[in-house]
Structures are given as structure tokens and as C-alpha cells.
């Protein structure tokens, strides 16, 4: 269930993505005036959890500007306590009505898990967080690369929306919506999933 602000936020994101995808971006709200307007406080209309991949910059692919998006990024959009705490702050203190979990095609973090290679150091945290999604995707028996990305998005949507006590309560009250999406690094298109 999505309330009106969440629906409007999603519409604004998808309209911005259409402009970007069609090679007609407006580059809105990126000038000195906007900087001055937002200096005393932020009021973003959406939070985005996305991969750290350099080909997936949320402000560019959604054609938004300064103060529009509250963005949390990590490889494979893997969440830790800091990431969840950041999204919690966006939902409860900044009052964003919408959180978008944005996975993407050709995600190196997901493909590293698919390839099953050895990892060491802190990268292991990322790989182990993604592994259950890859295992679920294998069981589906379809296009494993596509399904692994989607399962990883679904897992993060579930983790964020059930995050107790704050976000889960906001989701239950209908104040915050959490949706999953996948960005295609070739076409530039964002598709809502799940």
C-alpha cells in the first residue's frame, strides 16, 4: 500500500528516469540557488538504497538535484547497522514517504557470489550477505543472473521494511513505502520489481 506522497515520489523518480533514458535530462535543482535554499535544512522526497557501482549514480539516473534524494550506497546494496540507521533517519526524522532499493544488471557483487570465488577481508561480509539471495535464485531454475539481482533486491526490501522498531512501524502505519527496482546499465531504464 502506498500513500499519495509515496506515489508522487515514485512518479517523480520514474519521470526523471525517463528523461535520463531518452537523453533529455533536465539536470534540475543543481545550481547555487538550490544550494542556498537547502543550506538550512534538507527535505528529500525519497531515500534510495543502491549499489556503490560507479555506473549507478541515483541523482543522475533519476535526473534529480541537490536535496532531492537521501542516498545510502554499498556494494550489492548490502545493509549493515549504519545503512539501516541511515534509512531509519530518513524515514523517521526527514519523513521521506518512499524508500527505493535499487539493484542493477551486471552487478559485480552479485556476480562474484555467482562465480563462487574466494573472498577475504571485509569483502566477505558483502559476499555472505548476498549468498542467500543467489541460492534462492538457483532454486528458481530460470535466468540465474537476472533472478539473483531480483532476489537480492527483494531481500533488502524485506530487511528494510521489517526493521524494528522504527521503519516497521512506519510501514505498518502506511507512512513509508519500501519498493524494489532494478536499473539496466545498458538501456538506462529503471524497472519496479516485486
Residues that bind Zn ion (CB under 5 A): 51, 53, 107, 109
Q: H-helix or E-strand containing 77?
A: none
**CB closer to Zn ion out of 107 and 159:** 107
How many residues are recorded in the chain?
Answer: 194
CB 73 to Zn ion: min, Å = 10
**CB closer to Zn ion out of 17 and 152:** 152
CB 77 to Zn ion: min, Å = 7
Pick from 113, 100, 116: nearest CA to 156: 100
Starting at the earlier edge strand, list the strands of the sheet with 98-104.
Answer: 69-73, 46-50, 98-104, 177-183, 190-193
The CA–CA distances, whole Å, from 93 to 41, 65, 84, 96, 172 equal 12, 20, 14, 8, 17
**CB closer to Zn ion out of 51 and 177:** 51
Q: How buried is 120 (Cβ within 10 angstroms: 0-12 exposed, 13-18 middle, 19+ buried)?
A: exposed
CB 76 to Zn ion: min, Å = 6
CB 47 to Zn ion: min, Å = 18
CB 27 to Zn ion: min, Å = 24
**CB closer to Zn ion out of 85 and 108:** 108
**CB closer to Zn ion out of 12 and 185:** 185
Q: How far apart are CA 86 and CA 162, in angstroms?
A: 15
Q: How buried is 190 (Cβ within 10 angstroms: 0-12 exposed, 13-18 middle, 19+ buried)?
A: buried
Grid cell 534529480 — which residue?
A: 64
CB 53 to Zn ion: min, Å = 4
The DSSP bridge partners found for residue 104 are: 183
**CB closer to Zn ion out of 166 and 185:** 185
Amino acid at each position: 500500500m502506498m500513500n499519495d506522497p509515496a506515489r508522487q515520489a515514485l512518479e517523480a523518480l520514474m519521470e526523471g528516469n525517463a528523461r535520463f533514458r531518452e537523453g533529455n535530462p533536465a539536470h534540475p535543482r543543481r545550481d547555487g540557488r538550490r544550494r542556498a535554499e537547502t543550506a538550512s535544512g534538507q527535505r528529500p522526497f525519497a531515500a534510495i538504497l543502491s549499489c556503490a557501482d560507479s555506473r549507478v549514480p541515483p541523482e543522475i539516473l533519476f535526473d534529480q538535484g541537490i536535496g532531492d534524494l537521501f542516498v545510502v550506497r554499498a556494494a550489492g546494496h548490502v545493509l549493515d547497522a549504519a545503512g539501516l540507521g541511515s534509512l531509519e533517519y530518513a524515514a523517521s526524522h526527514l519523513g521521506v514517504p518512499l524508500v527505493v532499493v535499487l539493484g542493477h544488471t551486471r552487478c559485480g557483487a552479485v556476480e562474484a557470489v555467482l562465480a563462487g570465488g574466494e573472498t577475504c577481508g571485509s569483502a566477505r561480509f558483502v559476499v555472505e550477505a548476498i549468498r542467500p539471495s543467489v541460492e534462492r535464485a538457483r532454486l528458481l531454475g530460470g535466468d540465474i543472473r537476472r533472478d539473483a539481482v531480483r532476489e537480492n533486491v527483494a531481500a533488502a526490501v524485506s530487511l528494510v521494511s521489517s526493521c524494528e522498531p522504527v521503519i516497521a512501524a512506519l510501514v505498518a502505519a502506511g507512512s513509508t513505502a519500501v519498493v524494489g527496482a532494478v536499473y539496466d546499465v545498458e538501456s538506462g531504464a529503471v524497472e519496479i520489481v516485486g
